[in-house]
């Protein structure tokens, strides 16, 4: 592997000053499961790697019980999210996604922030955060700004991050009662594989557990960047959710998707799987709401 100098700042400000001192030749690193591979393969050739691992404030996972807002530091590992009972119970869509990213070894090192910033079209970590209306907090040489998680992505492997900017954390607004959610990573196998298609569904019902008041249908590998099937979402709102309605929503989502043929699979297959899994995840949402989760 190419030699580099490893810098270990303990605050976001210190990390940014390191970056400013070495700008062109420096790169940030979180868990390292993507960056180290890129350096080994020669796709990234930094003279300085700035480790974010020791920045304590970026490693916190915290739910504000008063406001109901969830805050996920960018350095929180997939394994930490997977092991959290709070995530498993209150945010099943996030649990579904992070528990199948990479392998356990990768999840023990890899971080949710690194997964987002790597910006692969499959973005297992992004789909649930988009469905949960997540907001990303960025901090760079020019100060702080925030954006919706879905707006982080410009193109495959490209985000809106400016040079020197760091994704600090993601916040999830309080979730309404009677909300269910689920994510399917569809592929040949779960571990160490990018999905053929990723489908996340979140549904909120009104007090009578009948009419849908909010729907999110988020798709990975269905377009160059993670997308929402907003036509299908709008179709569901105001309706009583039945299997027949979910089948129609799946058809709408499949039509809205911009899937294409790739070495991993065909557009046709991806479209069919969107139909199947929007229905299945929708039914899962209903089952979870019924269970009282």
Partner 1 sequence: MTTPISFILNGDELFHEVKDHWTLLHLLREEMGLIGTKEGCGNGECGACTVIVDGLAVNACLYLAVDLDGKRLETIEGLAGSDGTLHPIQQSFVDEGGIQCGFCSPGMIMSSKALLDQNPTAGHEDIKHALAGNICRCTGYVQILESVEAARDRLSEQAGGRNE
The correct pick among 12, 14, 44, 106 for binding partner 1 (CB under 8 A) is: 106
Smallest gap from residue 21 Cβ to partner 1 (A): 16
CB-count burial class (<10 Å; 0-12, 13-18, 19+) for 224: middle
The correct pick among 21, 176, 190, 287 for binding partner 1 (CB under 8 A) is: 190
The verdict on 123 binding partner 1 (CB under 8 A) reads no
Q: Rule CB under 8 A: which of 48-87 touch partner 1?
A: 49, 51, 53, 79
Smallest gap from residue 51 Cβ to partner 1 (A): 7
**33 or 181: CB nearest partner 1:** 33
First and final C-alpha spacing in the chain: 47
Smallest gap from residue 46 Cβ to partner 1 (A): 10
The verdict on 5 binding partner 1 (CB under 8 A) reads yes
The correct pick among 12, 14, 36, 194 for binding partner 1 (CB under 8 A) is: 36
**56 or 105: CB nearest partner 1:** 105
Region from 189-197, 201-209, 273-281, 283-291 binding partner 1, contact rule CB under 8 A: 189-197
249: left (phi over 0), alpha (psi -120 to 50) or beta: alpha
The correct pick among 10, 11, 25, 37 for binding partner 1 (CB under 8 A) is: 37
Smallest gap from residue 112 Cβ to partner 1 (A): 16
SS3 of 183-207? EEEECCCCCCCCCCEEEEEEEEECC
In the complex, the residues that contact partner 1 under the rule CB under 8 A are 1-6, 8, 32-33, 36-37, 39-41, 49, 51, 53, 79, 99, 102-106, 108-109, 190-192
């Amino acid at each position: 592997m190419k030699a580099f100098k490893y810098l270990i700042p303990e605050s976001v400000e210190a990390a940014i000053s390191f970056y400013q001192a070495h700008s062109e030749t420096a790169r940030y690193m979180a868990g390292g499961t993507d960056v180290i591979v890129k350096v080994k393969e020669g796709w990234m050739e930094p003279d300085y790697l700035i480790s974010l691992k020791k920045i304590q404030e970026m490693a916190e996972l915290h739910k504000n019980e008063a406001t109901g807002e969830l805050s996920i530091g960018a350095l929180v590992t997939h394994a930490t999210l997977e092991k959290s009972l709070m995530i498993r119970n209150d945010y099943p869509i996030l649990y579904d996604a992070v528990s199948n990213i990479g392998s356990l070894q990768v999840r023990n090192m890899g971080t949710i922030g690194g997964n987002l910033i790597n910006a692969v079209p499959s973005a297992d970590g992004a789909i649930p955060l988009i469905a949960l209306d997540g907001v990303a907090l960025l901090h760079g040489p020019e100060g702080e700004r925030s954006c919706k998680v879905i707006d982080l992505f410009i193109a495959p492997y490209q985000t809106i991050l400016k040079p020197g900017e760091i994704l600090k954390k993601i916040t999830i607004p309080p979730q309404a009662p009677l909300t269910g959610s689920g994510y399917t990573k569809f592929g040949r196998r779960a571990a160490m594989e990018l999905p053929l298609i990723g489908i996340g569904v979140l549904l909120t019902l009104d007090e009578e557990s009948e009419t849908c008041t909010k729907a999110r249908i988020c798709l990975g590998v269905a377009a160059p960047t993670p997308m929402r099937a907003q036509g299908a979402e709008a179709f569901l709102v105001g309706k009583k959710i039945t299997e027949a309605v979910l089948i129609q929503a799946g058809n709408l989502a499949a039509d809205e998707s911009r899937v294409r043929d790739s070495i991993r699979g065909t557009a046709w297959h991806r479209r069919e799987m969107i139909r199947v899994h929007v229905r299945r995840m929708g039914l899962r949402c209903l089952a979870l709401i019924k269970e009282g989760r």
